[in-house]
């Protein structure tokens, strides 16, 4: 098959971002398929471009890099402009490039434009991949406030779903949400995946200032949606309780990074440590040597459906998880005894749980062992890559699934 994949955030393990598309595409190429990814220059990826459009190759994957920079630190309007600019330029390739299957991977919802053009102008079979619930998430978080824009966004979302031969979501919660709202049956979830081989192979801690199993780790964007102040306030509670021996380490960038660093310095919260972005292959030792991984999000219903990379990577590293949503991740942690769900508005709750896990080494290590077991069973990249490839092959060789 010739697979054309529209995704704005492509990265290899040398970048500081999720590698799902890289891992899947690499596997599909090894199985004899042709994969072309149309992407942009994301600040956390390892891609660099000097021309407007550059052809690059990674492990047999043809990557067309459109030189549109996307950064979480950009203003809302600038990011929207970048999304629209990318979708317009990439639409040219939706018309020009040969394909048996076209995948449009959202968010943002604007990625649907090249997918729809490939569907209606070239008769391609379209798979819409929902990574998060755009625009519902942006509306619930107060990012989109204009009523007309809301209506247009929901209309466009519906058009994308109805035009698709199949919809792939990244979590069971997203699947149920879309089924309920649009009465759609041609849908299934293929969650984010974990590179078990990469994350389970032990790497000694490369930071001399940290000691193994003395810190909780957070990796990713430092901002409002990720509830980063919850982590800072928990570090303050630990200091108040004379437990500064337990550190909270953040590795990443984001809108709130500088203000939190300044607050930590001003209030002398020495157990709140921020480390800059690093490639995924360098990140592994920091995750493996933490006693728990933190997956915080703002307490809002739409985020209950989230499927963050750090959740899967932490399990693959054999590290239990603390998170604070009330959706499928909560159910999964409870069912398999690999972590805890806490109140997203109660930093003392987090501080107390960190003390409990830090001091109860035997139980915490048992949860870590179980974490690796369930990662191998449910989230291995090979299993999930094969699941999505089977969907693509059925669409290519037969009738649209579910229609």
- Could you state, in order of their start, the residue ranges of all structural domains in the chain? 2-193+380-397, 196-378
Phi, psi of 322 (to 5 degrees): -115, 125
Confidence check: pLDDT of 388 > 70: yes
Confidence check: pLDDT of 258 > 80: yes
Q: 286 and 217 in contact (C-beta within 8 Å)?
A: yes
* Cα gap 63→123, rounded to integer Å: 23
* Cα gap 353→218, rounded to integer Å: 15
Q: Does domain 196-378 have CATH number 3.40.50.2000?
A: yes
**List of residues 6+ apart from 256 with CB closer than 8 A:** 222, 223, 224, 228, 229
Confidence check: pLDDT of 45 > 50: yes
Confidence check: pLDDT of 402 > 50: no
Confidence check: pLDDT of 403 > 90: no
* Cα gap 403→400, rounded to integer Å: 6
What's 380's DSSP letter? B
Phi, psi of 165 (to 5 degrees): -70, -30
Higher pLDDT, 199 or 79: 199
Percent of the chain with pLDDT over 70: 99
Beta-bridge partner residues of 250: 218, 274
Residue 401 confidence class, pLDDT cut points 50, 70, 90: very low
Residue 399 confidence class, pLDDT cut points 50, 70, 90: low
The reply to whether 196-378 shares the fold of 2-193+380-397 is yes
Q: Could you report the per-residue pLDDT of 115-143, keeping only the tens digit for each?
A: 999 999 999 999 999 998 887 777 777 77
Instruction: Give the CATH H-level superfamily of domain 2-193+380-397.
Output: Glycogen Phosphorylase B; (3.40.50.2000)
Sign of CA dihedral 337, 245, 323, 233: positive
Average pLDDT, the chain: 93
pTM of the predicted structure, to 2 decimals: 0.89
Q: What is the mean pLDDT of residues 55-69?
A: 97
Residue 72: the pLDDT is 76
Sign of CA dihedral 145, 147, 149, 154: positive
């Amino acid at each position: 098959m010739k697979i054309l994949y529209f995704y704005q955030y492509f990265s290899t393990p040398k970048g500081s971002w999720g590698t799902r598309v890289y891992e899947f595409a690499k596997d599909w190429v090894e199985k004899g398929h042709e994969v072309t990814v149309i992407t942009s220059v994301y600040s956390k990826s390892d891609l660099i471009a000097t021309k407007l459009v550059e052809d690059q190759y990674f492990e047999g994957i043809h990557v067309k890099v459109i030189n549109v920079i996307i950064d979480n630190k950009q203003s809302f309007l600038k990011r929207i402009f970048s999304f629209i600019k990318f979708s317009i330029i990439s639409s040219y390739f939706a018309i020009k490039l040969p394909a048996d299957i076209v995948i449009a991977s959202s968010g943002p919802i604007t990625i649907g434009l090249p997918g729809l053009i490939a569907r209606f102008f070239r008769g391609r079979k379209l798979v819409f991949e929902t990574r998060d619930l755009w625009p519902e998430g942006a509306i619930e978080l107060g990012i989109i406030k204009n009523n007309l824009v809301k209506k247009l966004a929901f209309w466009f979302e519906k058009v994308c779903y109805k035009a698709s031969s199949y919809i792939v979501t990244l979590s069971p919660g997203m699947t149920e949400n879309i089924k309920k709202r649009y009465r759609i049956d041609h849908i299934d979830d293929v969650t984010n995946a974990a590179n078990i081989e990469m994350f389970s192979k032990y790497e000694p801690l490369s930071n001399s200032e940290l000691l193994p199993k003395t810190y909780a780790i957070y990796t990713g964007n430092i901002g409002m949606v990720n509830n980063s102040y919850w982590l800072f306030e928990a570090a303050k509670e630990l200091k108040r309780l004379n437990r500064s021996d337990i550190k909270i380490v953040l590795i990443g960038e984001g809108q709130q990074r500088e203000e939190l660093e300044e607050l930590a310095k001003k209030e002398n919260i020495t157990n709140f440590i921020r480390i800059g972005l690093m490639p995924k292959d360098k990140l592994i030792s920091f995750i493996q040597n933490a006693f728990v991984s933190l997956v915080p999000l703002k307490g809002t219903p739409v985020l209950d459906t989230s499927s963050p990379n750090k959740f899967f990577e932490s399990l693959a590293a054999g590290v239990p998880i603390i998170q604070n949503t009330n959706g499928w991740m909560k159910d999964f942690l409870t069912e398999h005894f690999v972590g805890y769900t806490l109140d997203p508005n109660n930093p003392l709750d987090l501080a107390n749980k960190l003390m409990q896990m830090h001091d109860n080494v035997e139980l915490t290590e048992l949860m870590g062992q179980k974490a690796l077991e369930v990662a191998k069973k449910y989230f291995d990249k090979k299993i999930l890559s094969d699941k999505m490839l089977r969907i693509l092959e059925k669409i290519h060789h037969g009738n649209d699934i579910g229609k």
